[in-house]
Chains A and B, each alone.
Chain A
Amino acid sequence: MSEAVAVAEGPAAPRAGGRGPRGPMAFVRRHPTVALGLALIAVMAALSTLAPHLGTVDPIRFSPAQRMRPPSDRFWFGTDSFGRDVYSRTMYGGRISLIIGFSVALLATTAGLAIGLVAGYLRTADAILMRLMDGLMAIPSILLAIAIIAITRASVRGVLLAITVPEIPRVVRLVRGVVLTLREQPYVEATRALGSGIPRILVRHLLPNTLAPLTVQATYICAVAILIEAALGFLGAGTPPEIPSWGNIMAEGRTNFQVGPWMILFPGTFLAVVVLAVNLVGDGLRDLLDPRFARRL
């Protein structure tokens, strides 16, 4: 870590210790929305990983005799037009959403970080990379994602790529912005004078300063990724239809909405709750990591 950052952290350390009681309850009291968001995500993660033990049946088994049953004691969330149990499918569906959400957040921030660092520091690369990013930004992410899906064909990996690519430019802009303001700082100049190579300056001295805003951005990307994955599934352009994902369940329910609204309402509620939880965590993180912004929002 650079000298400047270490100095900035110096006086902050004792204050953190003296900020009142510690422990989980204190955290909940100080940041109720973050705690709520984290709790909801934990519950959802638990539900989807423990899906096989939660009274579910095989989520892809057809039982034509039980088609389009409304919610009841036996089928909590009803059944779809193939007689599949919507409750089981919804529980299993959480897996895809959560996996896609977190992987996209990780992939997009990593790729964006690398491109952003280079673009921010190297003037020659900047012009080309940023034009490319501007071009990508001008295409609505859903359209771009659908176009990429059309190329890669429906698979989980294809969906992952299709959702990641449109998110990268946003990360690049953020990282580049931070790097542009930092590159002229005396401490960077000093490291350069000491003979540090470009990779070292980028990774050791500039990268750590981007992490705070990047974490916040990653959370929002996670929320957007979950939404887009469901939207793609809903449009019939997402993961293969036999995989239970919330978007696919809702796509199934689309044609039968007037007779069987449960096929859309139950997975839809789960989807909205997860995205809400991730957004709450994002807002909370932003307030924590950027106090100047916290006052305003």
Chain B
Amino acid sequence: MGVVAVIVFLLLHLAPGDPAALIAGDFATAEDIARIGKQLGLDRPLHIQFVAWVGQILRGDLGTSIFSHLPVTRLIHQRVEPTVVLSVTTLVIAVVLAVPIGVLAAWRARSWVDRLVMALAVCGLSIPVFVLGYLLIYLFAIQLGWLPVQGYVSLTEGVWPCLRSILLPSLALGSIYMALIARITRASLLEVLEEDYVRTAHAKGLSALTVVVGHALRNASIPIVTIIGVGLTLLIGGVVITESVFAIPGIGRLTVDAILRRDYPIIQAVILLSSGVYVLVNLVIDLVYTVLDPRIRY
């Protein structure tokens, strides 16, 4: 996290675009720009700015937006709900669908089911989120009229309307993730299915389902859980695009707007936040390892 903080800080402070000049506008004099720069503390040496900045963050203050002059924490707080709902729904849909599909493909390896699943997975990895998103909108919202085209309905207005508004975005966003998980599930399970104890389990008359799901899947689960964690950056990155496609007022939109306006504090906060989530989730996954495989200790 410390390294991320340094990278983020340097990245945005080595930028040639001077936010003071941007705020001052086209008609500002050099004195105006210098005055605004001083207000923002941009005239101080870089390392002092960095220390001040880290101190602020540790106190839970992510700074104020250069443009709207609102605290970044409040801006993020306002936008956090759609993003969290979208990410969690996508994660759940992806895992719930992809793992059984991968299991099915491994169980029926080299059959037409397997080939179909693998072909779909390659397609899933190849179709960009936004293209798939528009395809889904075109099909289910414009042609069939089953679901709303764009926009987001808050959870406070009921779970069902919210889910309706989030279903297409989740499917679009989840496709890459599902493809990844399904492929890894299949690969990992195929390896485990060759083990001796699986043959023993078959031999003692257990049903195929018990063997595959009860015996093999748990031992194949480490790579699956790993990819769920690694793929999280894909998911977070995808959220930015998905929110633009489906006009969802979440953190992704906030970020894109901030970047187009060079609103440093927001960009810094979002990158820090998303890396924080990434680190946290991967920590949780490390802990999940010990549950799945008691031999792993830290």
- Complex formed: what's the CA distance from A291 to B4 in Å? 37
A141: chain B residues at CB < 8 Å are 233, 237
CB under 8 Å from chain A, chain B span 1-41: 1, 3-4, 6-8, 11-12, 14-17
B191 within 8 A of A: yes
Stretch in A127-135, A179-187, A192-200, A203-211 with 4+ CB within 8 Å of B? A127-135
B244 within 8 A of A: yes
A261 within 8 A of B: yes
A265 within 8 A of B: yes
B270 within 8 A of A: yes
Partner among A147, A254, A275 whose Cβ is within 8 Å of the Cβ of B126: A275
Stretch in B42-50, B129-137, B155-163 with 4+ CB within 8 Å of A? B129-137
B211: chain A residues at CB < 8 Å are none
Closest residue on chain A to residue B190 by CB atoms: A296
Q: Is A280 touching B233 in the complex (CB atoms < 8 A)?
A: no
B291 within 8 A of A: no
A117: chain B residues at CB < 8 Å are none
Stretch in B63-71, B88-96, B164-172, B274-282 with 4+ CB within 8 Å of A? B274-282
A-side binding surface: helix, strand, loop or mixed?
A: helix
Partner among A134, A149, A296 whose Cβ is within 8 Å of the Cβ of B3: A134
Given contacts A237-B256, A272-B127, contact A135 B4 (CB under 8 A): yes
Q: Is A276 touching B274 in the complex (CB atoms < 8 A)?
A: no
Q: Is B191 touching A143 in the complex (CB atoms < 8 A)?
A: no
Stretch in A61-69, A108-116, A223-231 with 4+ CB within 8 Å of B? A223-231
B76 within 8 A of A: no
Q: Is A271 touching B128 in the complex (CB atoms < 8 A)?
A: yes
Q: Is A151 touching B16 in the complex (CB atoms < 8 A)?
A: yes
Beyond the given A135-B6, A136-B7, A141-B237, please list 5 additional residue pairs across the A-B interface where CB-CB is below 8 A.
A132-B3, A143-B271, A147-B12, A150-B267, A231-B128
Q: Is B3 touching A150 in the complex (CB atoms < 8 A)?
A: no
- Complex formed: what's the CA distance from A63 to B15 in Å? 38
Closest residue on chain B to residue A138 by CB atoms: B275
CB under 8 Å from chain A, chain B span 93-137: 122-123, 125-131, 134-135, 137
Q: Is B11 touching A227 in the complex (CB atoms < 8 A)?
A: no
Partner among B122, B183, B240, B275 whose Cβ is within 8 Å of the Cβ of A142: B240
CB under 8 Å from chain B, chain A span 118-173: 131-132, 134-144, 146-151, 153
Q: Considering only CB atoms and an 8 Å cut-off, how many residues of chain A contact the other chain?
A: 46
A-B contact count (CB 8 A): 142
Q: Is A138 touching B128 in the complex (CB atoms < 8 A)?
A: no
B-side binding surface: helix, strand, loop or mixed?
A: helix
Q: Is A139 touching B275 in the complex (CB atoms < 8 A)?
A: yes
- Interchain nearest-CB distance for B138 vs A (Å): 5
A137: chain B residues at CB < 8 Å are 233
B234 within 8 A of A: yes
- Interchain nearest-CB distance for A230 vs B (Å): 6
- Interchain nearest-CB distance for B112 vs A (Å): 16
Centre residue among B127, B129, B256 by max chain A CB count within 10 A: B127
- Interchain nearest-CB distance for B184 vs A (Å): 9
A279 within 8 A of B: yes
CB under 8 Å from chain A, chain B span 183-216: 183, 186-187, 190-191
A240 within 8 A of B: no
Binary per-residue interface labels of chain A (229-263) against chain B in the complex, 1 for a CB within 8 Å, 0 otherwise: 01100111100000000000010001001100100
A138: chain B residues at CB < 8 Å are 1, 4, 233, 275, 278-279
- Interchain nearest-CB distance for A174 vs B (Å): 14
- Complex formed: what's the CA distance from A153 to B22 in Å? 14
A237: chain B residues at CB < 8 Å are 256, 259-260
A264 within 8 A of B: yes
Centre residue among B126, B183, B262, B279 by max chain A CB count within 10 A: B126
Given contacts A132-B3, A139-B274, A143-B270, contact A257 B137 (CB under 8 A): yes
B54 within 8 A of A: no
B15: chain A residues at CB < 8 Å are 150-151
- Complex formed: what's the CA distance from A283 to B179 in Å? 14
- Interchain nearest-CB distance for A143 vs B (Å): 6
Q: Is B3 touching A131 in the complex (CB atoms < 8 A)?
A: yes
A71: chain B residues at CB < 8 Å are none
Closest residue on chain B to residue A37 by CB atoms: B122
Given contacts A143-B237, A146-B259, contact A280 B128 (CB under 8 A): no
Closest residue on chain B to residue A148 by CB atoms: B11
